[in-house]
Amino acid sequence: MIDLKIFELGKLHIFHIAVTVLSSIAASGYAPNLKPLQPDDSIFRFDLFELDYARMHRIAVPVVLLSSLTAISSFVVFLSNAIQRKSLPLIFELTWATIAFIFQLTSTVLIARAEPRYMSIFTDQSQYWSVDNVLELADPVQSMLINWNTAIITESTVTGFLGIHLFWHLVVSIRHIRVRPRVFLEPTPAAYPWRLKSDTPSSDPASAYMFAGYGWT
């Protein structure tokens, strides 16, 4: 059985893993839209479907790039925390989270604006089409819709996670800045505490370890 204590997985670490996984899913889910349509693709027979795919293809590069950057940077932060066995200073965590939030929000907006609405109408009304047309178009259309839905759901989720993450740490830090003037230079609390100690860490090794970003209360 794997001992998770190897990485001292706290809530902060789980958050970074979740962002890494979800951003990777979003990038891989939207990656098929990087491929331009070929003249022999059956979807070319319908101009409206071609317009849908053209919108998705146009934003594919920035979406995949931004999602990949978020995933890679989140994984690097997780590894840094795990290897050092303490969290990065809060100012670095907030800086990274702000940049990642902007990346993810941008991707979410781009994907939402490229919604394949004509393909959605086709799937909703496909029972009224002839069998040949449905069979010919069902697979590529369903595949594109799945890619779009996967991307919009995962990107929205990561954006929400990052927004809550930023809001929580900013509010907690600002609340305690009078009693902890250097709060933004201290290790990021891994347990998402609402209250921080106002005194300095004691000389007790156990207390010092808790203060290092893993158990502020």
**SS3 for 74-136, per residue?**
HHHHHHHHHHHCCCCEHHHHHHHHHHHHHHHHHHHHHHHHCCCHHHHHHHHHHHHCCHHHHHH
Q: CA 203, CA 217: separation in Å to the nearest integer?
A: 17
Summarised one tens digit per residue, pLDDT across range 28-76 is 888 888 887 665 555 555 566 777 778 888 889 999 999 999 999 999 9
Q: Is 208 exposed, middle or buried (0-12, 13-18, 19+ CB in 10 A)?
A: exposed
Q: pLDDT: is 92 or 57 the higher one?
A: 92
Please state which of the ranges 20-34, 49-63, 165-179, 199-213 shows the lowest mean pLDDT: 199-213
Q: CA 49, CA 193: separation in Å to the nearest integer?
A: 50
In the prediction, which pLDDT does 6 show? 44
The two tokens of residue 162 are 């990052």
**Helix, strand, or coil (residue 187):** strand
Q: Which residues contact 90 (CB under 8 A, 6 or more apart)?
A: 169, 173, 183, 184, 185, 186, 187, 188, 189
Mean pLDDT of the chain, nearest integer: 75
Helix (H) or strand (E) holding 177: none
Summarised one tens digit per residue, pLDDT across range 146-170 is 888 888 999 999 999 999 999 988 8
pLDDT exceeds cutoff 70 at 101: yes
Q: CA 202, CA 211: separation in Å to the nearest integer?
A: 9
Measure the CA angle with vertex 214, ends 8 and 205; round to 5°.
95
In the prediction, which pLDDT does 7 show? 46
> How crowded is residue 84: how many other Cβ atoms within 10 Å of its Cβ?
12
Q: Are 90 and 177 in contact (CB under 8 A)?
A: no
Closest CA to 77 of 23, 126, 34, 125: 23
